[in-house]
Structure 1
Amino acid sequence: MMDDTTLTHRELVRYARQTSLPEVGVEGQKKLKGAKVLLVGAGGLGGPISLYLAAAGVGTLTIVDFDHIELTNLHRQIMFSADQIGQSKAQVAAKKLRAQNPDIAVNVVEERLDKSNVLKLVSEHDVIVDCTDNFATRYLINDACVIANKPCVFGSIYRFEGMVTVFNFEGGPCYRCLYPEAPPAEVAPSCAEGGVLGILPGVIGLLQATEVIKILLGTGKILKGKMLTFNALEMSFDSFEFHREEDCNACNNEDLEQWFSAQSEQEQTCSLSKSDEDIELTVKQAALLQANKKVTLVDVRSKQERQYLHIDDDYWLPLSEVNEQLDSLLNIDGAIVFYCQSGLRSKQAAQLLKAHGFKDAYSLSGGVFAWHAAA
């Protein structure tokens, strides 16, 4: 962080209610202005975090997100509005943050975070904020933070629950100390699959923003080695402690950079990347195949999800049972297009069939929502 930062008269007036706090003061506000924060993800968590960091006067915010705004985002991603559907999340967020506080710098990185760019981005910032929803990216961010010795403010949400902690802060434990390996994809559904209460990202995001501010100011007790959990249904907070592990592959790895180069490639195979595009069919392509009776549509969601919305003339086979029914699936004539709510689980099913030699297995891009939106 910069040491020679000065505040303009307008900034002194703007932050007067904040600098009146003894724990902040003018010197603390200078620290915030001179700070650089990297936010990975501009969605449910990234929105409220960035809004409050901008309002607080954090001098440089860098937003990493290559996604575009969808209708299903709007119940929880308060940064965006209905007239912005289809636009870049990062660009829309940046425009709003610059309007909110023209005295700060907002940078946009519309790229997928991977091992080719993560180390440079992490090393250029003071605090990293993990607003992601997949394990591959979380491990990638964690390992880069350990290599660059940067604190990572972590948040996670699912259904009615959320959690917050700070990894790799002043010798504290990292993400791998708590979760050495990613769970199988089929038991780790995202918010798109498992659902999330719309207000939950606001609660968890503001807690993350609070930790960022405290770290930058050098004040208060940080959630180092302590996971704070929130249950919205019970309106209760709880916490548990965890420690740095001696056998952690990140914290206590003398050859971490070399290990990181190999490990990140392996773990990123479980995330959805642009190389998966050849496995997807658009709604228009799938509908044309269905009209010509050259396709079998297979719903891989749960029975509960299916009862609310599905595609006519399809078949139902939950993702958990696809492996058991491989022989039957491999004997189907024509193409098979799997679909789910958003396209995540259906890709796994299609990849499984392709791995067993079935060339015409596909995933419906955008899932059942995209199908009915186009109807």
Structure 2
Amino acid sequence: MPLAPVGEELSPPERTRFARHVILPGIGDTGQRRLRAAGVLVVGAGGLGSPVLLYLAAAGVGRITVVDDDVVESTNLQRQVVHGVADVGRLKVESAVAALQALAPDVTVTPVGERLSAHNILDLVADHDVVVDGADNFPTRYLVGDACARLGVPHVWGSVYQHDAQTSVWWAGEGPCYRCVFPNPPPPGAVPSCSTGGVLGASCGAVGSVMAEEVVKLLVGVGEPLVGRLLLHDAWRQEWSTLAVAADPDCVVCGAAADPHRPLGIEKEPRPGSGDGSEISSVATEPALPSLSVTALAQRLRDRDAGADAFILLDVREPGEREVVTIPGAVPLPLGQVRSDRGEAVAKLADGIPTLVYCKSGARSAEAVGLLRARGVDAVDVTGGVLAWVREVDPTLSTY
């Protein structure tokens, strides 16, 4: 059943522009008029949001709202194709609006440059026919999923990590909602972000294009949407596969006994600078952990080179991250290894001298410091990690 109403007759220029849709069985003149009458909410103007936005605007979707509170960074350009070099430092929603206006000036694009919350999500979802979730963090994913399930609005979702991708259409009442299949977020630190694990840019384009296809199918009422199926993509093996997924009758959001007044989303928000919340750690919030600034670290490194100080500088990031940038003189030991032996290897290595620990921005290093101190190591957290080092000590270095 099509979700969008049939709009007004197409004008001759519109019929020419969308001729390849008009002659396409399944869309035709009526389907194109539905697309023009439709409203789609796109959450995120990043790796997945970029191809979705471009293809929906090109397809003639009449009204698009894009939500993102982030700004364009140079590291985004490897995959976020709706932005360009000149947009670095600009709000992503502003950049996206400009790109879509250049591509499809007749499409109404509304930017929402603020973070989604329980206070604004329901109104935004209710005002659109379909919601697309291209968010890169779990709090937003659960917030969007819960709101769509509560309102019965179909929710086109996608996720990419490294070269693996997943996508589906969650639709309470027609199939499972997001929380039916993923009832709880993963434990803190269990899922690395693309900023720490990397991501193949073209994979965002591949799965983002599938997401745009699903939106068009839902609006026009053609084909078989990915309701009840989870589509998996492995770019390295160039394989696509599907898993059957089902609604949970006991789902706390869409189940028969669900509380309609239950708070939306998950309670824990990501710490500023943590990317997707995957680096959040209960240890990281402990106020008693000793720390030092990157400028203080720079002085201590100079003192160590002069023989006036003795310490270990420990880098707990992943090998791929160290390929981009490192602080000179660091010993590499990923956090996973620190966790596996609770810091025993570092305790032997330190042998009574202090251990200064850094990661990308501070969350993983704080966890490592907590583990090491529990093992008796004089561990100190380097505040802000390598990003702060580049920003405050050596801006000539690469960042990510």
Whether TM-score is above 0.5 comes out as yes
> Secondary structure at the residue paired with 1:185?
coil
Mapped to 1, the partners of 2:124 and 2:40 lie a distance apart of 10
Deviation for aligned residue 1:94:
0.7
Mapped to 2, the partners of 1:269 and 1:138 lie a distance apart of 12
Deviation for aligned residue 1:189:
0.9
1:310 pairs with 326, 331, 353, which one? 326
User: What is the aligned-residue identity percentage?
Assistant: 36
**Matched length:** 361
> Secondary structure at the residue paired with 2:213?
helix
Provide closer, same or farther for how the CA distance between residues 265 and 170 of structure 1 changes in structure 2, counting only shifts above 3 A: closer
1:108 pairs with 106, 111, 125, which one? 111
Mapped to 1, the partners of 2:177 and 2:271 lie a distance apart of 21
Tell me the equivalent position of 1:282. none
Deviation for aligned residue 1:233:
1.5
Deviations for 1:321-356, whole angstroms, at most 9, x for unmatched residues?
566349989x9989x67332xx3xx32543786999
Provide closer, same or farther for how the CA distance between residues 79 and 365 of structure 1 changes in structure 2, counting only shifts above 3 A: farther
Tell me the equivalent position of 1:192. 195
2:295 pairs with 288, 293, 299, which one? 288
Provide closer, same or farther for how the CA distance between residues 312 and 217 of structure 1 changes in structure 2, counting only shifts above 3 A: same
Larger radius of gyration: 2
- Quick one: which amino acid aligns to residue 385 of structure 2? L
How much is the aligned-residue C-alpha RMSD, in angstroms? 3.5
- After superposition, residues 222-237 of structure 1 pair within 5 angstroms as 222-237=225-240
1:350 pairs with 346, 356, 366, which one? 366
1:56 equivalenced with 2:77 (yes/no): no
1:362 equivalenced with 2:378 (yes/no): no
- Quick one: which amino acid aligns to residue 384 of structure 2? S
1:72 equivalenced with 2:75 (yes/no): yes
Provide closer, same or farther for how the CA distance between residues 368 and 216 of structure 1 changes in structure 2, counting only shifts above 3 A: farther
Counterpart contact for 2:55–2:212, Cα < 8 Å: yes
- After superposition, residues 1-375 of structure 1 pair within 5 angstroms as 1-168=4-171, 170-252=173-255, 254-261=257-264, 264-268=265-269, 272=274, 286-293=293-300, 298-303=314-319, 305-306=321-322, 309-314=325-330, 316-320=332-336, 324-325=342-343, 338-340=358-360, 343=361, 346-350=362-366, 362-364=383-385, 366=387, 373-375=395-397
> Secondary structure at the residue paired with 2:243?
strand
Gaps of 5+ in 2: 286-291, 302-310, 374-378
Mapped to 2, the partners of 1:89 and 1:296 lie a distance apart of 40
Deviations for 1:164-206, whole angstroms, at most 9, x for unmatched residues?
1100165210111111111123221111121111211111000
Deviations for 1:116-175, whole angstroms, at most 9, x for unmatched residues?
211111111110001112222111110000111110001111122211110016521011
> Secondary structure at the residue paired with 2:33?
helix
Provide closer, same or farther for how the CA distance between residues 251 and 169 of structure 1 changes in structure 2, counting only shifts above 3 A: closer
In the superposition, the TM-score normalised over structure 1's length comes to 0.83
Provide closer, same or farther for how the CA distance between residues 293 and 90 of structure 1 changes in structure 2, counting only shifts above 3 A: same
Counterpart contact for 1:351–1:361, Cα < 8 Å: no
Counterpart contact for 1:339–1:367, Cα < 8 Å: no
- Quick one: which amino acid aligns to residue 363 of structure 1? G
Mapped to 2, the partners of 1:307 and 1:20 lie a distance apart of 50
Provide closer, same or farther for how the CA distance between residues 132 and 313 of structure 1 changes in structure 2, counting only shifts above 3 A: same
